[in-house]
Chain A
Amino acid sequence: MDNFVYYRPKTAEAAVGLLDAKWGTAELLAGGTDLVSLQKQYIARPKKVISLSQVQGLDQIEQSRGWPMTFKIGAGVKLATLAASSALRGSAAALAQAAEEIAGPQIRNMATLGGSLCQRNRCWYFRDEQSPCLLKGGDKCFALDGENRYHAIFTQGRKCVIASPSTVATPLMVLGAIAQVLSPKGKREIPLAEFFKAPTGPEDREHVLAPDEMLLSVSFSIASDKVKSASYEVRQKLSSDWPLVQASVAFELDGGTAKNVRIALGHVAPVPMLSAEAAKAIEGKPINEETAAAAGEAATSGAKPLSQNGYKVRLLAVAVKRALLTAAGAKKYWEV
């Protein structure tokens, strides 16, 4: 790893003041689970590492009483804290379930909400120091016709076919979360549904933040106790593994039918994506194995897998089906 100057600002304003106007020279350090590994691979080579460990207030979960219930979660809240929060488990289960499934206990004790949302992608060509891929200034994406079994299946018009890496993005999108961001000019808000972008070159990240901006918190509001949500992911391994596909769902369960359905798909496209087709397929219907399976099929419409990852199309349909059944409190037929 290259050496650097380590800064320990006491305020978010001081941290933002140390950032540069272009990517690559300064990095914010939260849990470090992504950044430190990228530095060891010489993919990230910052001259300045800005530790957020002494910035006050980043690790708080604020929650209002009564309905609608509003949550504001600091970017520095650990994934382990999200997973253990009884308030989130009760009213925003999709987020707690997603956090609990991430990696293993050591990572969840280190990694933060903000780090998960702002992390770099997991493409092995991007992470390999020797591969000059599109995101590192090269002229081609090696995954397009290379080893692509873990890459995107929604690939139309994509120059780079990474799978979106954040597992907390999809639950936050279905919960209608908004990101609070600090820039040198002051605070601004970005809906999570507009927070991510598909990178196509070395000047891009996987999100829309400017190089001198910092994520402070995310907030969302749960209308009533009729709102049900869940996340479901498929992995090769029981734990400590990246999802092959992930689905998050949220809806109001009213008189046995689902209303205002939102379904988000993770790890299947360069950005986590809301699926209007899947939501439309189950809107206004009761949730059972048949309707949930139909929504799962609808979620795969438009998928154009690569040479090695057609299997992810089937997994995605199943993940959406199981997330819907979990949220509705149906019997988990897959658990024996």
Chain B
Amino acid sequence: MDHSSKRGDRPGVSRRDFLRGTGAAATAVASLVKVPGVEAQEAKSGADVVAIGPGPVKLSLEVNGTTMTTNVEPRVTLLDALRNYLDVTGCKKVCDRGTCGACTVMVDGKPIYSCTMLALEAEGKKIRTAESLIDGGKLDPVPAAFVACDAQQCGFCTPGFVVAMRAVLDANPKATPAEVEKGLAGNICRCGTYEQMRHAIEDLCKAGGK
């Protein structure tokens, strides 16, 4: 009996390929859809106003130091643009209502919920995701402390936590453990690995975030 389950041998499509495929299909359909009552105003910009959409428009984002370009409708959130259009999948979609913190990214150095910001609002800003927390194979001290302290279980919330924690330590390298914890108030871990995270925070604060 062949138990081979290597990914490449599997028939069908991977989850990511499926999402990518449906995303492309959605884009193709959406370009034909008009918003009733506003067709006449499409792309009609004046001296004091830029009008964008409702069809897909070109979007350039600076993500982790690289300029990335795609086409999105105005309603696409920064999270969906990053994950489904630009394949930057570190930020996770969990509550999608600005509550859980799994989608946390830094915009101009400040942690925000990417699920609740329109992608168009992030144009011209510097976006930093969990993918930036590794440099030439060397892990940033924050995720490294998570590894050393076993501060994750399922790991789905981890990219949001490490970005939020990096933001606190970037803003104040001398932050106390209590200040770091305050900076994580917008993130939730449903596995409840807070105790191990406290160990990681303690180690990081002793080392000045390094």
Contact = CB atoms under 8 A, between A and B. Distances in A.
A187 interface: no
B38 A109 contact: no
A80 B168 CA distance: 13
Contact of B51 (A5, A29, A40): A5
B116 A36 contact: yes
Interface residues of A, number: 39
A53 B164 CA distance: 23
Contacts of A6: 51-53, 74, 118, 120
B104 A106 contact: yes
Interface stretch (A43-51, A139-147, A195-203, A305-313): A43-51
A14 B116 CA distance: 25
Given A3-B33, A4-B53, A18-B49, A104 B101 contact: yes
Interface string B89-118: 000000011110100100000111100111
B186 A106 contact: yes
Interface residues of B, number: 42
Contact of A240 (B54, B118, B185): B185
A24 to B, nearest CB: 12
Contacts of B182: 105, 239
B164 A32 contact: no
A30 to B, nearest CB: 10
B77 A36 contact: yes
Contact of B75 (A2, A53, A104, A106): A2
Nearest to B74: A6
Interface string B122-165: 00000000000000000000000000000000000000000010
Contacts of A39: 75
A4 B74 contact: yes
Contacts of B12: none
B25 interface: no
Contacts of A80: 110
A37 interface: yes
Contacts of B111: 105-106, 109
A224 interface: no
Contacts of B113: 33, 106-107, 110
Contacts of B36: 47
B50 interface: yes
B35 A4 contact: yes
Contacts of A209: none
Interface in A4-62: 4-11, 13-14, 18, 25, 29, 32-33, 36-37, 39-40, 47-49, 51, 53-54
A216 to B, nearest CB: 16
B49 A103 contact: no
Contact of B35 (A18, A47, A238): A47
Contact of B54 (A4, A13, A53, A106): A4
A1 interface: yes
B170 interface: no
A240 B51 CA distance: 35
A110 B99 CA distance: 13
Interface of B: 30, 33, 35-38, 41-42, 46, 48-54, 73-75, 77, 96-99, 101, 104, 110-113, 116-118, 120-121, 164, 167, 182-183, 185-187
